[in-house]
């Protein structure tokens, strides 16, 4: 790749990693996040004072770092975490966005939501309890939602006397299970022993586990590729907005027609031959811009304006691809769907599917089976309730340009909208 796509940014050229944490409060998930924020000096004095006061009020001796992720009054009253929260920290070489999702079974939808934007998942295991049903559930969901990098964190090592044999046994159990579900073949899996409470192997190694010579958690995070770094799908550019400033007083702009959007995958250069779907018009890229900046090429996840050589009638919802790409408009799709709404899915109703910048009305054609997220068994079903995951085929009123989710997360994903409430009721991953 040429380097001209990077803007003048030599002072701040650190990349960004989005990751999620899977586990329940009992696994020490909140403590892990609190510890990461604390040890990277993200927690400032006034916040620390606030949580240490609360810790004292609740009769605790040490500062409870898990309070840092304890967000809303509504939750504090119930003592549970009901939603995905986003946290931020930076190491100076990298910025991190943590999606913090509660891990109980009834919160499958929150895990799927958190996983949708993550490129790495930390799966927490309590060293005293080993691989549990919930570990399998978290791993399956991380796999389903296409997270590339899995860190299996065996936590609470302090409570098993930092015993290496215990750790080795848990790693072996997990590896067996990962082989069974195809996770081990498809993903990068790493293991680490830790104590989030004491801080062993998070930011600092400390001295309790000399038998472990692998990376600390923070070293793993620093080395993990960002999503845009390892994406290998073809060029896909869903048009978000068409800029036609023809009323402008500037005569040069009379014929300006800029197609604005985000490159969801692949890369593009001036001169490339492109096709606009679904109509199939062909042209060549005349220019690529970000504001005033003219680029020779651009890559995944950049928001740009593309100008074409020919005057082509294109609008929001169209997709620009490289000429010769095999992608075709389709009017039937098959997908794994996670149901997000308290109102069960109705096979009689018409929903709206939003895919990239495009929408289509959709009806369920068939439900193949439902997946039990604990046993991973396939079960016959005729309905879908909140937190259920099922393989479903939909008939579409308008054609969509899709890739399979495993090949291309952005072009394989969609949401289901209930038009009566406008709520987002389902999340789909195209098979």
Residues 59-88 close enough to bind another protein by CB under 8 A:
69, 71-74, 76, 82-88
- Taking CB under 8 A as the criterion, which residues in 235-254 touch another protein? 240-241, 243-245, 248, 250, 253
- Taking CB under 8 A as the criterion, which residues in 134-163 touch another protein? 148
Instruction: Specify the residue, 10 or 213, whose C-beta has the smaller distance to another protein.
Output: 10
Length of the chain (residues):
431
Residue 45, CA distances (Å) to 23, 30, 38, 41, 42 in order: 28, 19, 11, 10, 10
**Stretch of 167-175, 197-205, 394-402, 421-429 lying at the interface with another protein (CB under 8 A):** 421-429
- Taking CB under 8 A as the criterion, which residues in 253-282 touch another protein? 253, 256, 258, 260-262, 267
- CB of residue 336 to another protein, shortest distance in Å: 13
- CB of residue 411 to another protein, shortest distance in Å: 10
Asked if 47 contacts 41 with a C-beta cutoff of 8 angstroms, the reply is: no
- CB of residue 157 to another protein, shortest distance in Å: 29
- CB of residue 399 to another protein, shortest distance in Å: 18
Within 10 angstroms of residue 57's Cβ, the number of other Cβ atoms is 8
- CB of residue 278 to another protein, shortest distance in Å: 17
Query: Measured between alpha carbons, how far is 150 from 322 in angstroms, rounded to an integer?
Result: 33
Is residue 357 part of the contact set for another protein (CB under 8 A)? yes
CB half-sphere exposure, 356, CA atoms < 13 A = 30
Is residue 301 part of the contact set for another protein (CB under 8 A)? yes
- CB of residue 168 to another protein, shortest distance in Å: 26
Query: Measured between alpha carbons, how far is 182 from 185 in angstroms, rounded to an integer?
Result: 6
Dihedral pair phi/psi, residue 390, rounded to 5°: -140, 155
Instruction: Specify the residue, 98 or 170, whose C-beta has the smaller distance to another protein.
Output: 98
DSSP designation for 195: B
- Taking CB under 8 A as the criterion, which residues in 211-230 touch another protein? 225-226, 228-230
- Picking from 266, 262, 282, the residue whose alpha carbon sits closest to that of residue 274 is 282
Select the residue interacting with another protein from 9, 59, 348, 382 (CB under 8 A): 9
The pair of structure tokens assigned to 151 is: 């860190």
Burial 257-293 (b: 16+ CB within 10 A, else e): bbbbbbbbbbbbbbebebbbbbeebebebeebbeeee
Is residue 291 part of the contact set for another protein (CB under 8 A)? yes
- Picking from 156, 211, 215, 208, the residue whose alpha carbon sits closest to that of residue 188 is 215
Specify which residues 105 forms β-bridges with: none
- Taking CB under 8 A as the criterion, which residues in 381-420 touch another protein? 409-410, 413-415, 417
Is residue 45 part of the contact set for another protein (CB under 8 A)? yes
- CB of residue 264 to another protein, shortest distance in Å: 8
| Residues binding another protein: number (CB under 8 A) | 88
x-or-dash string of contact with another protein, 112-131, rule CB under 8 A: xx--xx--------------
H or E segment to which residue 343 belongs: none
């Amino acid at each position: 790749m040429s380097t001209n796509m990077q803007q003048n940014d030599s002072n701040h050229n650190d990349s960004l990693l989005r990751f999620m944490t899977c586990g329940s409060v009992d696994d020490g998930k909140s403590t892990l996040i609190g510890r990461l924020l604390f040890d990277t000096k993200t927690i400032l004095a006034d916040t620390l004072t606030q949580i240490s006061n609360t810790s004292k009020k609740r009769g605790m001796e040490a500062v409870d770092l898990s309070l840092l992720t304890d967000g809303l009054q509504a939750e504090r009253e119930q003592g549970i975490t009901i939603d995905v929260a986003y946290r931020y920290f930076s190491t100076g070489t990298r910025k991190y966005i943590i999606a913090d999702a509660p891990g109980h079974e009834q919160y499958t939808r929150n895990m799927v939501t958190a996983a949708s934007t993550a490129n790495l998942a930390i799966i927490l295991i309590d060293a005293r309890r080993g691989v549990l049903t919930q570990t399998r559930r978290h791993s399956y969901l991380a796999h389903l939602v296409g997270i590339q990098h899995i860190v299996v964190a065996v936590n609470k090592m302090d409570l098993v006397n930092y015993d290496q044999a215990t750790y080795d046994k848990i790693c072996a159990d997990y590896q067996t299970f990962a082989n069974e579900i195809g996770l081990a073949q498809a993903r990068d899996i790493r293991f680490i022993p830790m104590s989030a409470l004491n801080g062993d192997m998070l930011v600092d190694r400390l001295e309790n586990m000399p038998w472990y010579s692998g990376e600390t958690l923070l070293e793993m995070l620093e080395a993990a590729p960002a999503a845009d770094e390892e994406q290998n799908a073809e060029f896909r550019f869903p048009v978000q907005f068409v800029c036609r400033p023809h009323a402008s007083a500037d005569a040069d702009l009379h014929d300006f027609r800029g197609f604005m959007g985000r490159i969801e995958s692949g890369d593009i250069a001036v001169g490339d031959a492109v096709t606009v779907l679904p109509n199939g018009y062909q042209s060549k890229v005349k220019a690529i811009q970000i504001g005033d900046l003219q680029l020779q090429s651009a890559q995944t996840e950049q928001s740009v304006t593309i100008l074409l050589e020919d005057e082509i009638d294109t609008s929001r919802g169209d997709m620009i691809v490289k000429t010769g790409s095999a992608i075709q408009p389709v009017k039937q799709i098959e997908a794994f769907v996670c149901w997000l709404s308290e109102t069960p899915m109705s096979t009689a109703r018409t929903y709206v599917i939003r895919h990239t910048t495009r929408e289509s009305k959709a009806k369920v054609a068939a439900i193949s089976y439902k997946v039990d997220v604990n046993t991973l068994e396939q079960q016959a079903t005729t309905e879908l309730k909140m937190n259920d995951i099922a393989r479903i085929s939909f008939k579409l009123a308008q054609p969509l340009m899709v890739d399979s989710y495993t090949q291309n997360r952005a072009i394989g994903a969609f949401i289901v909208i209930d038009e009566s409430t406008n709520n987002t009721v389902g999340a789909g991953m195209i098979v």
